[in-house]
Structure 1
Amino acid sequence: MNGSDVGASKMVLFPRGFAQPVFSNGPKMAFVLEGTGTAGIVVPNGNGVLNERVVRISEADVIAVPSGVVTWWFNDNRDTHLAIVFLGQQRLVNFYLAGPRGVFKGFSAEVVSTSLQLGEAVAALLDSQTTHGGIVKLGPELNMPQPNIINRDGLVFNSFTAVLGEGDSSGDAFFLNSTNLPLLNEVGWGASIIQLGSGCIYPPTYACATKFQIILVFSGSGNVEVVGPNGDSIINAAVEKGHLFIVPDTSVLSATAGHIGLSWLSIFNSPTPRFLTLAGRGSVLKSLSQAVVQAAFNVTPPMERMIRFPGQSH
C-alpha cells in the first residue's frame, strides 16, 4: 500500500487467545476472515453512558470501529484459530489499557492510585503484574463474558447475509451505510460487498468521490485487473480468499470470478462513493450517442453496435 495513507494488519488468535482492550487515534474497520469468537465493544448508550456490548463474531463479519472506541477480542474455541483483518490509517496508533505498553504504565503511582481509587501500594502491585503483551492465552479458570445476539444489531454486519437471495446468477452488490451499520457515520467511510457467480465478470468500473478503495477478498477466487489513466496495466493477478489490495482514485477496476465464484469487501474513504461503469448494463458506453462512439473508437456502425450492446444480435 505504498503511496497511500492506508494501512492493514492481520491478527490471529489461537484457542483461548485474548487481545487486550485497546483504542486507536483513528477509525478502522474490522473484518473476520476466518473462525468464530467473541468481541467486546465499548460504546455510549442512548444516554451517553459507556456500555460494553459483547457480541458473537464469525467469518465475514464487518465491524466499524470509530476513533476512541475500546475493543477486545477473544477466541473461545478449543482447536480452531480466529483471524481478523483491520483496515485503517497507515500510521494508526493503538493505546492499550493494560500490559507492558498500557497507558497506565506511564503515569505516576499517585495518578494511578487516585484515578483508580487504589492505595499506592496496591497500584504499585498492579503495575508489577502487567507484564504480558497485547495478546495472551487465558486459562480455563477465567470465564469470559458471554455474547448476546441482540448486541449485534447496529454493530456487526455479516457479508454473507448481504448477498444471499439477491440479484441473479451473475452476481450481487450490497452497500453498507448508516442504516445497516450505524457506526459507519462516525468512521466516515463507506463499504460495499460484491459477489460474482462462477465465471462472471465485474465490468471496468471507476469509483468516484473517494481517494481509494481497499479490496479484501473473503470468498472464492478469480482474476483482477487495475488500469491507470494512460491505459497502463497496474495489476493483473490471480486472487483468492485473504488477498488484499488497494485501488487508488487514478485507476479503474475489473474482476473475473473463477469456477467457485468471487466475493470481496470494498472499503472507501467516503461514506457516499459513486460508481461509473464503463461497459455493460447501465454503462456510460450505452449512454453515449451512436455517432460519438463511432467517432471515438473509429469503427463502422455495425462495430459500434457491438461495442454499445455486447451480446445482442446485430
Structure 2
Amino acid sequence: MDFNLSPQPADTTVYEGDAGGYYSWTGAKSPAIPQAKVAAGKLVLRPRGFALPHYADTFKIGYVAQGTCIVGLVFPNDPQEKVLIINKGDAIPVQMGAISWWFNGGDSDFTIIFLGESSQSYSPGQFDYFFLTGPIGVLATFSPEFITKIFHLKESETETLVHSQANPLLVKLDKGINMPNQSNCDTREYVFNLDDLISSGVNYAEITAENFPLLEKIGLSASLVRLESHSILNPYYNVNGSQIIYVLKGSGRVQIMGLNGTRVLDADVQEDQAFVVPKFFAATQLAGEHGMEFFCLSTSSRPIVGQLAGKESAWKALSSPVLQAALNVSQEFVAFFKSKINL
C-alpha cells in the first residue's frame, strides 16, 4: 500500500471575503487525510467578522492560533445557547451536530485551526457544514410554502426571513449590531487552554478524557508541542488512533516509519502545513533553527502511545540480555546504550 504523507498547506479556499476566509485540506494534495479518516480546516475572521450559524457531520477540536473570538454553541436536545470567549492557546471541542457561530469583536485577526475525524462525513477527509441561514442555508433550501407554514408567516415575511442574508458563510457586521460580549456559562467546561500547561522546561501539553471529560463524548484528544532550536521529539507510535498535525510556528523535519521497516516520510515541514501520522507508524520531529510548535489531534480520547526513546521507552524496559541478543552487540555496549537512555 502506498502512503503519501507529505506535509501540505491548505489546498482549497472554500470562501474568502472582507469578513475573512475558510481554507481546507483535501485528498487531492493530502491523500493520507481521507485514508486516515481525519480532516483539517482553518478559519480566519477579520475584525467584526461573523461565521454564520452552522453544524457539521464531524467531531473536531479547534485551536486558537491568534486573537480572541466570541463563540455561541447550541447542542442537540439542549436548546440553550452557550456563549464563550476564547483566546490564543485555547482548545475548544465542537461536537457533531452542535450548532455554532463565531464572531471576532476585536481589533485584530482571529485564526483557529480545526482538526478532527471524518469517519461519518459525507465527504471523506472533509468537514461538511450545514448552515442555518444565507443562500446555502436551511431556510433557503426548503420551499417558501413550507417556510410560510412552519413559522406561520405571510409571503412577504417569508421573503424577508429567507433572502435578507446574501452571504453564504461569513459576513462583516455593522457596528450597530451588538453581539454578545460575555460568557454566560462556565468556560472551563467547554474550553481548555493548552498554553497554560506549558512552562519553562516543559515542551508538551495534552488534553485527554482524563483531564478534560468533554473529550469522552467526541472520542478525540489533542496536544501542543514546542520544540526549541534543533531539538528533537523522541520517536513514538500510537496504538489506538491516527494523528493529524498542524505546524503553528517555525519549521523542521519529520520522519515516519511505516510497514516492513520502510521510511514512508522524510521531509521538511514548515508553518501552516499539516500531515498525518497513521496508527502504529513511528514518528519523530526535529526542529529547525528557530524551533517548531505544532498542534496535534489523535482520533482517541484516551490515546495509548508507545515510546521508542527516553526513560519510558521499551529500550529502558527491556532486560540487558534481550537487548544484547536483539542488537547483536556486547554486554558493554548494552550498558553504554542504557546509560544514554537515561539522559
- Normalising by structure 2, we get a TM-score of 0.80
Q: Deviations over 1:263-313 (max 9, x none)?
A: 333211111111111122111011112122112212122222232331679
Given the alignment, which residue of 99, 106, 113 partners 1:77? 106
Given the alignment, which residue of 284, 303, 307 partners 1:254? 284
Residue equivalent to 1:216: 246
Distance in 2, matches of 1:239 and 1:53, equals 37
Residue equivalent to 1:183: 214
Q: Deviations over 1:175-214 (max 9, x none)?
A: 313464333122111223334445433211111111x111
Question: What SS is found at the alignment partner of 1:191?
Answer: strand
Given the alignment, which residue of 90, 97, 100 partners 1:61? 90
Number of equivalenced pairs: 304
Residue equivalent to 2:339: 309
Distance in 1, matches of 2:239 and 2:47, equals 42
Question: What SS is found at the alignment partner of 1:203?
Answer: coil
14 and 230 in structure 1: CA distance in 2 versus 1, 3 angstrom threshold: same
29 and 303 in structure 1: CA distance in 2 versus 1, 3 angstrom threshold: same
Say whether 1:138 aligns with 2:173.
yes
Give the alignment of 1:124-273 within 5 angstroms.
Answer: 124-148=159-183, 150-164=185-199, 169=201, 171-178=202-209, 180-210=211-241, 212-258=242-288, 261-273=291-303
Residue equivalent to 1:101: 136
Q: Give, as a single letter, the amino acid of the residue that structure 1 aligns with 2:294.
A: W
265 and 292 in structure 1: CA distance in 2 versus 1, 3 angstrom threshold: same
Distance in 2, matches of 1:156 and 1:300, equals 52
Contact 1:155 / 1:182 at 8 angstroms: preserved in 2?
no
Residue equivalent to 1:293: 323
Q: Give, as a single letter, the amino acid of the residue that structure 2 aligns with 1:292.
A: V
Distance in 2, matches of 1:102 and 1:149, equals 27
Contact 2:256 / 2:283 at 8 angstroms: preserved in 1?
yes
Q: Give, as a single letter, the amino acid of the residue that structure 2 aligns with 1:24.
A: A
Q: Deviations over 1:117-144 (max 9, x none)?
A: 4333311232231322211111111111
Q: Deviations over 1:88-139 (max 9, x none)?
A: 3214321100000001111122322233343333112322313222111111
36 and 198 in structure 1: CA distance in 2 versus 1, 3 angstrom threshold: same
Residue equivalent to 2:79: 50
Q: State the Cα RMSD in Å.
A: 2.4
Distance in 1, matches of 2:315 and 2:48, equals 54
Q: Give, as a single letter, the amino acid of the residue that structure 1 aligns with 2:225.
A: I
Question: What SS is found at the alignment partner of 2:182?
Answer: coil
Contact 1:162 / 1:174 at 8 angstroms: preserved in 2?
yes
1:14 Cα offset (Å): 1.4
161 and 201 in structure 1: CA distance in 2 versus 1, 3 angstrom threshold: same
Distance in 1, matches of 2:279 and 2:208, equals 21
27 and 311 in structure 1: CA distance in 2 versus 1, 3 angstrom threshold: closer
Q: Give, as a single letter, the amino acid of the residue that structure 1 aligns with 2:46.
A: F
1:81 Cα offset (Å): 1.3
1:260 Cα offset (Å): 5.3
Q: Deviations over 1:197-248 (max 9, x none)?
A: 45433211111111x1112233454433222233332333344443321100
181 and 20 in structure 1: CA distance in 2 versus 1, 3 angstrom threshold: farther
Contact 1:157 / 1:180 at 8 angstroms: preserved in 2?
no
Residue equivalent to 1:20: 52
Q: Deviations over 1:65-89 (max 9, x none)?
A: 11110111112123x2111222232
Distance in 2, matches of 1:227 and 1:91, equals 26
Distance in 2, matches of 1:241 and 1:180, equals 28
Distance in 2, matches of 1:127 and 1:311, equals 65
Tell me whether 150-159 or 132-141 shows the greater mean CA deviation. 150-159
- Normalising by structure 1, we get a TM-score of 0.87
Tell me whether 134-143 or 198-207 shows the greater mean CA deviation. 198-207
Distance in 2, matches of 1:62 and 1:260, equals 24
Deviant stretches of 4+, over 4 Å: 258-261
